[in-house]
Every structure is written in structure tokens, then in C-alpha cells.
Structure 1
């Protein structure tokens, strides 16, 4: 008796002849490489960036709704957990952008050799870490300076 799975892997060539398609190996067979992890990460950061954008829309809606709703939104984004979430969103947007630029380069036919892919992976991680750190530090610095100015203005009045 034949294995029923063989029937599922039948295809046709462009000339109409029947062929047997290969069964793909499971993920446990593949050796994890940086390029594989980066590819999966690029997809996950796309989902995270979209989710963060939806949260951004809610934040803007709270600002449009009025001072009470906006104060609640500021409490959420102002506490350490909210700020950590915002930094994670920022890092995911930056990484997804860097990954998108890499894909555009590949689509142009450049940097697609195995050696170049392996060299570009750590560069993408480094650029993401550097840009994310600079942006997060700048934004958190501005937020801290603004909070000090508001506290100083509150004491003066």
C-alpha cells in the first residue's frame, strides 16, 4: 500500500507533464542562521509596528476627545511600562524599516549572495540598535525635560 501523502505532492510542469513535488523539511531539520531569525523578526516587527500604529491612533483619538481622555492616555504612556512599550514599538518600526531597505536592495538584484547576506545581517542589527537607542534616548530626554519644566511651572504658581 502506498503512502497517501504522495498523492498530495503531485504537480504539473509547464508543459503539462505530471511530476512529484518534494516534501519540505520541517523547521527542526534546518540549522538556525542569523538570516533566518532576521527574516522571521522582520515579519514579527511588521505586526508589532501595525499594532503600535493602532495604539497611536487611540492616543490621538484621546487627544481629540478632550483633556480628561488625554490625561488618561498620558498616564498610560507616562508610566515605565507604557514607556517600555513605546520604546519596543519604536525599535520594531526601526527594524522593520531597516529590513524593508534590505529587501529593496535584494529586489534590485544586489547583495543577494550568501556571503553578503551573512555580512549584512549583523549590520542590520547594529543599525537598528544604534538608531533605536538614539531615538529612544532623545524622546525620553525630551519627555523628562518637559516633565521638569511642568513641575517647575507648577511650583511657581
Structure 2
């Protein structure tokens, strides 16, 4: 026979978290994931920056090899991606900074900030590369 005390002490089944298939993708969710991904990309890109700096300190032959690598199509693609990751991560940080002041929490504002983060990162990346190519 079960007593009321035994019934109260029995563990209740815990609720299950919804699966990812249930969540509806939103701009803020995607920008949060991109912010984390660009943070990881910046770590990897910084290794390439360190490679370039070490080659610069290692002499003309090493610097020429690094220059050939970064001047190749793959090198340009890596540099372009690094630039975009830097701009996107920076603007994501600005978005979080705005949130730190308690602003931008309304759904429309969050949506706008997320879209501006993506558009701004693309625009700034193209601007930086355009200025770099003109100054070259």
C-alpha cells in the first residue's frame, strides 16, 4: 500500500526540451550562431596573421613564400573571410553593447539590429577591401 509520503517522494518525470526541429529560425538566433562562428574564425585567422608576422621576422625568403600564399586565390579568400568575420564579430559586439544599456529588446528592434549586423558586416568588408585595392 502506497502512503501519501511515498507518493510525494517519488520523482516526477522531467519535461523534455523541444527538439531543434520545433524551433522556428529567427534572425537573432542566426546572428547569435554567426557571432560564435566568427569568434572561432577569428582564432583561426589569427594563426594566419601570426604565420605572416613570423615570416616577416624570418627573412626575405620566408616573407616571399607567405606573400605568395596570401597573394593566391585561396589566400585572398582567407583574407576576405577573415575581414568579414572581424567586421561581423565587431558589429555583433556593438549589438550586445546596445543591449547592455537595456535598449533594443523589443522584437522589432532585435530583428532590425540583427539585420543591420549582417548588412553592416558585408558593407564594411566590401568598403575595407575596396579601399585596400584602390590604395594598392
TM-score range, shorter chain: 0.7 to 0.9
1:130 counterpart (120, 123, 135): 123
Distance 1:45 1:19 in 2: 41
Look up the match of 2:7: none
1:67 corresponds to 2:51: no
List runs of 5+ in structure 1 lacking aligned partners. Answer: 1-17, 146-157
TM-score, length-normalised on structure 2?
A: 0.85
C-alpha change, 1:113 and 1:20, in structure 2 (3 Å) is farther
- TM-score (normalised: structure 1): 0.74
1:38 to 25, 28, 31: 31
- Report the aligned-residue RMSD: 1.6
- Give the corresponding residue for 1:57: 50
After the TM superposition, which residues 1-157 of structure 1 pair with which residues of structure 2 at under 5 Å, given as runs?
22-142=15-135, 145=136
Q: What CA deviation, in whole Å up to 9, does each residue of 1:57-99 have, x standing for no partner?
A: 1110000010000000000001122111101100000000000
CA distance change for structure 1 residues 21 and 138 in 2, over 3 Å: closer, same or farther?
A: farther
Q: Deviations over 1:1-35 (max 9, x none)?
A: xxxxxxxxxxxxxxxxx987643211111011111
Unpaired runs of at least 5, structure 2: 1-10
CA deviation vs aligned residue, 1:34-64 (integer Å, no higher than 9, x gap): 1111110010001001111111011100000
* Higher RCO (C-alpha 8 Å, min separation 6): 2
Question: Aligned residue pairs: how many?
Answer: 126
Q: Distance in 1 between matches of 2:130 and 2:21?
A: 39
Question: Where in structure 1 do 4 or more consecutive aligned residues deviate above 6 Å?
Answer: none
